[in-house]
Structure 1
Amino acid sequence: MRLLLVEDDLQVNQGLTRTLSHEGYAVESVMCLTDARSFVANDEVDLLILDLGLPDGDGLSLLSDIKKRRKPLPVLILTARDSLDDKIKGLDLGADDYLVKPFEVDELLARLRVLGRRVTGVVSSTLECGPIVMDLAAHDVQINAQALTLPRKEYMLLKALMENQGRVQSKEQLEQKLYQWGEELGSNAIEVHIHHLRKKLPDGTIKTLRGIGYVLNRVQES
């Protein structure tokens, strides 16, 4: 899932970028409204964390651009503005959530999981497909109750497939979910990750539809 972080405090920006990347988000971070508007205009953002006090304007002004998108964009405002009036204004202008600094990272991640479920239509933080169980909160995967350790990209790939069970995901869709904007990737990167992931899952879990994409199959528990 592609997440845009708009935060002008360099330390907060870098710390959150590392944390969110570790949690399986493809993160792009910017420090001003101008850059944020460019990413929103490309219509490739799935989630947005938005600071309000930015060097080139008020983050609230970005919400009007977001309303013009072809698809909904969940927005979490992350700001030092803690008055009730500020919270009401932000939510009334279209933000989905409002978190005041200083904040607990675990709370931010929990709120993002809620917003992420709105994007994918998943109603729980636990995803299941046959014997495979993924706990998004714990960043944990189990097969037949046995822990499975996955590299970050393979975890993100499995998450994308499990969130879209029964729906084919094209190579391009998976690339958008796994890689940050401008991140260098080989022409067969997705195929390589699929190959390695298949070795760790029950036979037949990932089905290839040649020329179309990949879909997750529910296999029987052993």
Structure 2
Amino acid sequence: MTDDAQILIAQLLTHQTLARENKLVKRALTDETFRQEVDNRLAACGMKFLDNVYADNVTLALTREIEPKIFGSREVWQNNNLGLARDGVALLVVLWALIILPKRERQEAHQAALEDQEDMFGKDKPMPRAEDASMGISYRALLADFGDKLGKKTRMDMNLGQLSKLGFIERRGDMIMEGPLLDLMMDTDALKDRIVNGALSDIFHRPLPKEAEVIAFPQAAEQDQE
């Protein structure tokens, strides 16, 4: 007998991502009992429901406990996550930092502005859609800034093609835009300070804190994209 939890999980397994506006996704995000049922069924398979308020989509991921049993030991699978080469992982982290972090700042600023406005009915103010806040980055600018570090044009084009197939980015002419997985599969809490204040501090024009841990650029991507 089919039920809504079964249908939602089957849809996510089939389509990889679903929009937050999807009827069953909305229910999973608002109905605690339904969400618990979904989580329990996924946990039995070593999986979890993945979402965050900044993204327009949801997806599924393996739980941390099951990852080594699927991908092998840490040393084996750490550098081969999703089949990406070392420079592909580094490019993924760069794109996340240049597209997602500014988008989140715009979303939070817009949200704060809404909350400052008087609302006589006290209605909830949803987070601005990622589609509206995400601006992307120019391919030519990316190549000029990072081409020498990431294998030059041939390697970058190859890795961009793979990231597009995996759902991390979308290509729209010269622009590289956020894909459905870019803001879901990267651990912002673990990455943000280490990337912004470390590996990409020169790009964000922020002084390096005196006691900050400095991580060499490519290695940072390897360590964090697990």
TM-score by length of 2: 0.24
Which protein is richer in strand relative to its size? Answer: 1
Larger RCO, structure (CA 8 Å, separation 6 or more): 2
Question: Larger helix proportion, structure 1 or 2?
Answer: 2
TM value normalised by structure 1: 0.24
